[in-house]
Structure 1
């Protein structure tokens, strides 16, 4: 347990280090904290904080910086996230994500998170079912056709297919009408199985077209990104990362593979409100230089996914909490009205 003096000094040290990125000595900390204490007293308190594992002296510097444990105590007990000033200065007041195709909403949200935080924005898409609400065909050229698939939540996916035979536009309309009237709302696997049994009554060339369309539709729906990532290049400007190319390479691999991100965001979606993972403590993303701030988003009151910001441990947590919290509400509103 920390006494009030130690808490104030730790809070001042973390806030000043987040702002400046420089280790703090006793004289600087005395000025930052506003406490009327002698340098010797501050050095004693800093020694105690170091003994508790809350701060550390990097390399040979006489100054101190927070440890992941110090950041955690700061975030859990010393933050008072408030709305108002930040929302106004960031230009978020009155901002909306327009109800549009859900995938576009998620992509816009990832870029919004990245732009506001100047770090990396990530959004986990809702779990997808390969169900279609409507399908259309458009002839592009000889034996080359565009399949347009509309999912139940309004997402639109396009796939180009090539066929051995050519089809007229009237044949394409006939095939689309059959699929829409008999199979809309069913999963693609079920559609595929029923087509095997039921299309014998149709002309064989139409049956072949529909099989090709269902295969392309299934691939289109299943291939959509489950995690949308934006702003990876922002990390190049973060001094905590840019000095170590090996670390940067690992971070970019993380964003490229996305599997670890999926696990972290999946875990976060089961929690209420904003969650903060500091310095690898999530055990899902084992990078001690990273912190992740996440929040779930909803559609019609039901949690369907998670979004967040990934950046250095030395991030302004109060600001990140507000960015993530507000964006999750904007996404929830947009998706709930996009149907």
Structure 2
């Protein structure tokens, strides 16, 4: 990433001290004093020199001094500079990578999406969220009618992404096995690879090729299919591990803010809008504190990444935790989970 003007104004000594302060604060959760910084930075500087550098960092708005301590803590602006310019990302541990690869195998899309959310939560001990696009192109691989009784027909829909939906159709008249086979073949020959909206527009013209009394069955099938995938797309927000945030001292110490945060999770709208920004952006996005523009997240960081099906971005996933998080661990977890989810959701050629 490009260096910020503030970063360009900091000499190497100041950057090393800021990096050491952020890392020490993330590890301990306590304001960092000059003596601790002298040890952890590896610089042979006097406490007075370190205090002067800290004063400069405070003037830049990168650190702050809590009233109860002589030490300093990073601000959201300090975290931002650390993440953009000073962070050393750690590769995932082998067992964590194996667990991700094992759980995110090609399978039913909703199961894999739910698994991704759980894994993000388990590996980070924060909240994990996965959102698929609220209006996705559902292209049909095949449809099949199966007679259950005189007027009850099972409609089986398989999409090109491998999702399967079943719907029961209640018809005005009974249909023979031969008629159902003919209707199945007709739909698959004419409409495989299309979206339901496209099928609905074209079917009125194509139905003249069938007996008129088959049109009711076809229309019922298309309506049921659209309804099935509208419902499934509406349930594409999966949040896991939000209770982990109750264990985070910086968040649980302010019950009012914590209630606002959980209300945000329940109402979803604000979080969905934030993840939509991530879905439409290139690569990973990290929203630190007030950068999200969502008040309940002012004490949080949201690390997000988009995921794809067949090379097209269809959603985003992320981790929601405190600003004092181990960025060097969380960032690669989010990145690799997005890559593995994309792979699991993309059908083989």
TM-score (norm 2): 0.81
1:269-324 CA-partner distances (Å, limit 9, x unpaired): 44443332211314367721121222233445454443322211111111112112
> In the alignment, is the contact (CA less than 8 A) between 1:128 and 1:222 conserved in 2?
no
Query: What corresponds to 1:98 in structure 2?
Result: 105
> In the alignment, is the contact (CA less than 8 A) between 2:128 and 2:241 conserved in 1?
yes
Q: 1:62 to 1:144 in 2, by over 3 A?
A: farther
| 1:217-296 superposed matches below 5 A | 217-223=225-231, 224=233, 225-283=235-293, 287-296=297-306
Query: What corresponds to 2:20 in structure 1?
Result: 12
Q: 1:205 to 1:61 in 2, by over 3 A?
A: farther
Alignment equivalent of 1:22, drawn from 23, 30, 53: 30
Structure 2 gap segments, 5+ residues each = 1-8
Between the aligned partners of 1:285 and 1:239, the Cα distance in structure 2 is: 19
Between the aligned partners of 1:186 and 1:95, the Cα distance in structure 2 is: 31
Between the aligned partners of 1:215 and 1:303, the Cα distance in structure 2 is: 27
| 1:41-80 superposed matches below 5 A | 41-80=49-88
Q: Secondary structure at the match of 2:297?
A: coil
* Number of aligned residues: 337
1:105-135 CA-partner distances (Å, limit 9, x unpaired): 3332222222211222223325512432222
> In the alignment, is the contact (CA less than 8 A) between 1:137 and 1:147 conserved in 2?
yes
> In the alignment, is the contact (CA less than 8 A) between 1:134 and 1:150 conserved in 2?
yes
Between the aligned partners of 1:265 and 1:209, the Cα distance in structure 2 is: 39
Q: 1:94 to 1:71 in 2, by over 3 A?
A: closer
Query: What corresponds to 2:343 in structure 1?
Result: 333
* Cα offset, 1:89, TM superposition: 5.4
Q: Secondary structure at the match of 1:281?
A: helix
Between the aligned partners of 2:259 and 2:165, the Cα distance in structure 1 is: 33
1:324 and 2:334 correspond: yes
Q: 1:161 to 1:78 in 2, by over 3 A?
A: same
Which is further off, 168-177 or 256-265? Answer: 168-177
TM-score (norm 1): 0.83
| 1:297-312 superposed matches below 5 A | 297-312=307-322
RMSD: 3.2
Q: Secondary structure at the match of 1:280?
A: helix
Q: 1:275 to 1:169 in 2, by over 3 A?
A: same
> In the alignment, is the contact (CA less than 8 A) between 1:109 and 1:327 conserved in 2?
yes
Between the aligned partners of 2:148 and 2:258, the Cα distance in structure 1 is: 44
Q: 1:258 to 1:141 in 2, by over 3 A?
A: farther
Alignment equivalent of 1:186, drawn from 191, 194, 204: 194
Between the aligned partners of 1:128 and 1:195, the Cα distance in structure 2 is: 21
Query: What corresponds to 2:130 in structure 1?
Result: 123
* Cα offset, 1:178, TM superposition: 3.6
